[in-house]
A and B are shown apart, each in its own frame.
Chain A
């Protein structure tokens, strides 16, 4: 690995971390405000920052509530239960948040970057090399997503088990069986997309979505696989353990389930990882079903509208537009997930598993079979 490659990797990693942590912080506010709007309330509007030596209070629609929460969590006493397994208790929050951040490494957040063209003064240093805007452009793409999301299950179970609390243990049991069930559904739904685009490389999947179907529709995954899109989103919300699938942490039954015994920032890490996972699931959904970083009829050179009318764009504009498009789409998906969370009631325990094994799994298999047969007929 030479110096320019290393520098670009560092920039990508910094960008991804900044995006994910910002999403994590902003979504706490979005969740409050959106819930308030949906239930015809005003919502968070009390926290403010006063400009020193004046009486000017900046409220900004309650945007500072997230900051106040963060401070509260950081400064709170780190209470630990008496009888607990120290190692597993300390590992729990880490295993919950690190894999979620790592999953983003294979998600492409932009097209191909040519730093020499963006910064002509550095063109010589980069020597004409181009980089896909993706931290790890690895062939195994979607497999890595499933490999890392499997580790989060261990995090939830370790946290619940090590707390030496019956509520936590129940939460951990629920988390284990729920996540295993819904991961299976998620894997089977994604196989349809893999069959259609013929690859598991997420970068290539996005590139193959930049054309058109039937002459005018953008060739997005959701056009080919509408059922898979719905199933994927359901399984994604279940993987994230949010209402209507929040049985592992059901407040009214288990206090906070597997992280009942965590306090201060350790509990904050669980919350943050949940909010970051909203963004990661949104990013995966956008990548697989919504054409990734491209606007409809757009590719790395500019727009090609139906009818052959082309609008070429300069490289700088394409890069900026792709980054913003990706963020915008992910944000819309996050907002939709919050909409679902504040609309539906919680499942009962037996309903949850029956829904996964007797309803979603057969549907996912049926979708896979229909896709395979359709592709086979098309090729024959």
Chain B
């Protein structure tokens, strides 16, 4: 086993640990930290497989943008919120059952297919360099990409509208 393979397994274990901690941690900030570490580990796996572009966007978009805003919001939360005290929600039982089913299905299919050989650097094909990747991305998904920005503008307008109406009722 080479260093590269070991690192893939290491990041995989970290991602799994981060995911589990995200589910069982009680404090919202801990949950956010677990999610961040899970995402960083996933980026590590992508980077070890040679798809640097995907790894960079994983960090740039999920950690650098989404999670920054999450942490920003959690910072302003009230520490007396009931979610800090009560550990599990009412959806605990269905959640556990569905989670066990999903894990079982994934496990059975993994056993049937046999463990795939991990080949670090396998994704280091020229089509995963930044330029071909971005050209291909905008050729295939330009409509979806633009529609997403329309959706985001709508969300911003809605947020402003909610704040405005809330302020007016406060007097």
Q: Which residues of A are interface residues toward B (Cβ below 8 A)?
A: 1, 85, 87-88, 91, 138-140, 143-144, 146-151, 153-154, 157-158, 160-162, 169, 172-173, 176-177, 180, 199-201
> Which residue of B3, B27, B57, B75 is within 8 Å of A157 (Cβ)?
B75
Interface residues of B in 48-103 (CB under 8 A from A): 52-53, 56-57, 59-60, 63-65, 67-68, 71-72, 74-76
**10 residue pairs from A and B, CB less than 8 Å apart:** A85-B27, A138-B52, A143-B53, A150-B68, A154-B63, A157-B68, A158-B33, A177-B72, A199-B130, A200-B130
Q: Is the CB–CB distance between A147 and B33 below 8 Å?
A: no
Min CB–CB distance B124 → chain A (angstroms)? 10
Interchain CA distance A88-B33 in the complex, whole Å: 9
Interchain CA distance A143-B27 in the complex, whole Å: 32
**Lowest 9 CB-CB distances: which A-B pairs, in order?**
A150-B64, A147-B59, A147-B60, A161-B75, A143-B56, A140-B56, A176-B72, A139-B129, A140-B52
Min CB–CB distance B30 → chain A (angstroms)? 7
Q: A140-B53, A161-B29, A161-B75 are in contact. Are A199 and B131 (CB under 8 A)?
A: yes
Residues in B neighbouring A151, C-beta threshold 8 A: 59, 63-64
Q: Is the CB–CB distance between B36 and A154 below 8 Å?
A: yes
Min CB–CB distance A128 → chain B (angstroms)? 22
Interchain CA distance A140-B46 in the complex, whole Å: 13
Q: Is the CB–CB distance between A176 and B60 below 8 Å?
A: no
> Which residue of A146, A150, A169 is within 8 Å of B75 (Cβ)?
A169
Q: Is the CB–CB distance between A139 and B59 below 8 Å?
A: no
Nearest-neighbor residue (CB-CB) of A180 within chain B? B68
Q: How large is the interface on B (under 10, 10 to 19, 20 to 34, 35 or more residues)?
A: 20 to 34
Interchain CA distance A154-B110 in the complex, whole Å: 36
Residues in B neighbouring A144, C-beta threshold 8 A: 56
Interchain CA distance A91-B37 in the complex, whole Å: 12
Q: Which residues of B are interface residues toward A (Cβ below 8 A)?
A: 2-4, 27, 29-30, 33, 36, 52-53, 56-57, 59-60, 63-65, 67-68, 71-72, 74-76, 129-131
Q: A139-B130, A157-B71 are in contact. Are A85 and B29 (CB under 8 A)?
A: yes
Interchain CA distance A149-B59 in the complex, whole Å: 10
A151-B63, A172-B75, A176-B68 given; 6 more Cβ-contact pairs under 8 Å: A1-B3, A85-B27, A85-B29, A87-B33, A140-B53, A169-B75
> Which residue of B57, B60, B71, B129 is within 8 Å of A158 (Cβ)?
B71
What is the interface of chain B mostly: helix, strand, loop, or mixed? helix
Residues in A neighbouring B29, C-beta threshold 8 A: 85, 88, 158, 161-162
Q: Is the CB–CB distance between B56 and A157 below 8 Å?
A: no
> Which residue of A91, A139, A153, A176 is within 8 Å of B33 (Cβ)?
A91
Q: A158-B71, A176-B72 are in contact. Are A146 and B64 (CB under 8 A)?
A: yes
Interchain CA distance A199-B59 in the complex, whole Å: 20
Q: Is the CB–CB distance between B68 and A154 below 8 Å?
A: yes
Q: Is the CB–CB distance between B64 and A1 below 8 Å?
A: no
Interchain CA distance A85-B131 in the complex, whole Å: 44
Q: Is the CB–CB distance between B72 and A143 below 8 Å?
A: no
Min CB–CB distance A146 → chain B (angstroms)? 6
Min CB–CB distance B163 → chain A (angstroms)? 16
Residues in B neighbouring A150, C-beta threshold 8 A: 59-60, 63-65, 68
Interchain CA distance A91-B33 in the complex, whole Å: 10
Q: Is the CB–CB distance between B75 and A143 below 8 Å?
A: no
Residues in A neighbouring B71, C-beta threshold 8 A: 154, 157-158, 161, 176
Residues in A neighbouring B4, C-beta threshold 8 A: 1
Q: A85-B29, A154-B68 are in contact. Are A143 and B3 (CB under 8 A)?
A: no
Min CB–CB distance B33 → chain A (angstroms)? 7
Residues in A neighbouring B131, C-beta threshold 8 A: 199
Interchain CA distance A161-B75 in the complex, whole Å: 6
Interchain CA distance A158-B53 in the complex, whole Å: 28
Nearest-neighbor residue (CB-CB) of A187 within chain B? B60
Residues in B neighbouring A88, C-beta threshold 8 A: 29, 33
Of listed B36, B64, B76, residue having the most chain A CB within 10 A: B64
Interchain CA distance A51-B111 in the complex, whole Å: 71
Interchain CA distance A344-B119 in the complex, whole Å: 54
Residues in B neighbouring A180, C-beta threshold 8 A: 68
Nearest-neighbor residue (CB-CB) of A160 within chain B? B75
Residues in A neighbouring B3, C-beta threshold 8 A: 1
Residues in A neighbouring B72, C-beta threshold 8 A: 157, 173, 176-177
Min CB–CB distance A3 → chain B (angstroms)? 12
Residues in A neighbouring B53, C-beta threshold 8 A: 139-140, 143
Min CB–CB distance A156 → chain B (angstroms)? 10
Interchain CA distance A160-B67 in the complex, whole Å: 16
Nearest-neighbor residue (CB-CB) of B47 within chain A? A138
Min CB–CB distance A204 → chain B (angstroms)? 11
Residues in A neighbouring B36, C-beta threshold 8 A: 154
Of listed A158, A162, A173, residue having the most chain B CB within 10 A: A158
Min CB–CB distance A104 → chain B (angstroms)? 16
Residues in B neighbouring A161, C-beta threshold 8 A: 29, 71, 74-75
Min CB–CB distance B85 → chain A (angstroms)? 16
Nearest-neighbor residue (CB-CB) of A88 within chain B? B29
